[in-house]
């Protein structure tokens, strides 16, 4: 690899050696049209997987953190080491099957206003339906939104590049100059909502975000936290409130926060209890308490 690669590919590994190996090997096999470097941040895995990965793939850069810094903190460690003009944040449970990263860079360079781009993301396992073809905006008060194309069969219905309010954290390429301007991904979230906040910051300074369908990334989906886990419920509850605190103003901020606490959280708690998931009801309550404590610290 060149000493000054065009593209820095950053992935965060947490007890995910097998997935990370498959990720690296797909990059090595298919990305032939660009100079690149791969930076793997081992985010306090139980064993030092950075050492194992470096032995298997001597050409990659590995960073070992003895503390789990969360999704944003792990990516930020990698960004600080990156030498590329373009920074591509990719989940370690993704892979590719074509040499199409150049289309993402082409989209970035098509307009100086474009700051970051996400590819089409499809689920890795059959029937390989679409996971992401753009986002719709978060609602002002309830802070809900949808992934465009989620769960749909790919029949070419999302083949036109479009501006999107947010990029997808699993696969997001960003100009280095944009990071220099807006700063690193906010680490206060630890897990969930950090990329939405970061994208909001990017658009607030005048950049656009785009979806580019000529590149497809396959995603095995989260294997570390589960879809209905205590950890996921806790951080989604806390961080939705935190996003409102950081990105809404005036009376809208307080209405949104009160909605989350007095409407959404009680509703979710009741649904969890009806499912026999007292642990998730507890996680919801703990998420609210954690936000209140954090809000107090932030002033």
State the pLDDT at residue 223.
Answer: 41
Residue 81 CB burial class (10 angstroms; 0-12, 13-18, ≥19): middle
The proportion of the chain whose per-residue pLDDT surpasses 90, expressed as a percent, equals: 93
pLDDT band, residue 298 (cuts 50/70/90): low
pTM for the model: 0.93
Same domain for 151 and 62? yes
pLDDT band, residue 284 (cuts 50/70/90): very high
Q: Is residue 79 part of a domain?
A: yes
State the pLDDT at residue 228.
Answer: 82
Distance in angstroms (rounded) separating the CA atoms of residues 65 and 79: 14
Distance in angstroms (rounded) separating the CA atoms of residues 237 and 106: 37
Same domain for 95 and 55? yes
**Nearest to 164, CA basis, from 196, 129, 122:** 196
Same domain for 239 and 206? no
State the pLDDT at residue 221.
Answer: 81
Distance in angstroms (rounded) separating the CA atoms of residues 31 and 28: 6
Same domain for 109 and 29? yes
For 264, the domain range is: 230-298
Same domain for 152 and 40? yes
Q: Is residue 225 part of a domain?
A: no
Q: State the chain's mean pLDDT as an integer.
A: 95
Domain ends where: 193, 219, 245?
A: 219
For residues 29-48, average pLDDT: 97
Same domain for 79 and 35? yes
Domain count, the chain: 2
Q: Is residue 160 part of a domain?
A: yes
Ranges of H-type helices in 152-277: 176-182, 194-204, 230-247, 250-259, 265-274
Domain ends where: 219, 239, 262?
A: 219
The model's pLDDT over 7-23, given as tens digits with 9 standing for 90+, comes to: 999 999 999 999 999 99
CATH value at residue 31 = 3.90.550.10
Torsion of CA 138, 144, 149, 153, to 10 degrees: 170
Q: Say if residues 50 and 40 touch (Cβ distance below 8 Å).
A: yes
State the pLDDT at residue 143.
Answer: 95
The model's pLDDT over 119-167, given as tens digits with 9 standing for 90+, comes to: 999 999 999 999 999 999 999 999 999 999 999 999 999 999 999 999 9
The model's pLDDT over 195-245, given as tens digits with 9 standing for 90+, comes to: 999 999 999 999 999 999 999 999 998 444 456 899 999 999 999 999 999
Q: What is the DSSP letter of 39?
A: E
Same domain for 185 and 95? yes
Helix (H, G, I), strand (E, B) or coil at 268: helix
For residues 34-40, average pLDDT: 97
Domain ends where: 161, 185, 219?
A: 219
Same domain for 207 and 275? no
């Amino acid at each position: 690899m060149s000493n000054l690669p065009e593209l820095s590919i950053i992935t965060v590994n947490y007890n995910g050696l097998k997935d990370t190996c498959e990720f690296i090997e797909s990059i090595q096999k298919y990305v032939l049209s660009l100079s690149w470097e791969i930076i793997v941040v081992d985010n306090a895995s139980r064993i030092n997987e950075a050492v194992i990965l470096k032995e298997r793939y001597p050409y990659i850069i590995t960073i070992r953190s003895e503390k789990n810094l969360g999704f944003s903190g792990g990516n930020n460690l990698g960004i600080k080491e990156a030498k590329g003009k373009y920074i591509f944040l990719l989940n370690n449970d993704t892979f590719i099957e074509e040499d199409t990263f150049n289309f993402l860079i082409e989209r970035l360079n098509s307009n100086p206003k474009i700051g970051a781009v996400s590819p089409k993301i499809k689920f890795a396992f059959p029937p390989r339906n679409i996971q992401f073809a753009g986002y719709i905006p978060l609602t002002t008060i309830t802070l809900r939104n949808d992934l465009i194309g989620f769960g749909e069969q790919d029949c070419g219905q999302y083949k036109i590049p479009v501006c999107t309010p947010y990029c997808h954290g699993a696969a997001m390429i960003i100009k280095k100059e944009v990071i220099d301007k807006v700063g690193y991904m906010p680490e206060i979230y630890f897990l969930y909502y950090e990329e939405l906040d970061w994208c909001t910051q990017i658009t607030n300074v005048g950049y656009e975000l785009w979806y580019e369908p000529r590149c497809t990334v396959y995603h095995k989906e989260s294997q570390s936290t589960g879809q209905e886990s205590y950890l996921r419920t806790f951080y989604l509850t806390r961080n939705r409130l935190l996003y409102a605190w950081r990105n809404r103003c005036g009376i809208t901020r307080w209405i949104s926060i009160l909605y989350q606490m007095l409407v959404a959280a009680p509703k979710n708690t009741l649904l969890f209890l009806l499912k026999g998931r007292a642990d998730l009801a507890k996680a919801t309550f703990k998420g609210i308490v954690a936000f209140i404590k954090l809000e107090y610290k932030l002033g």
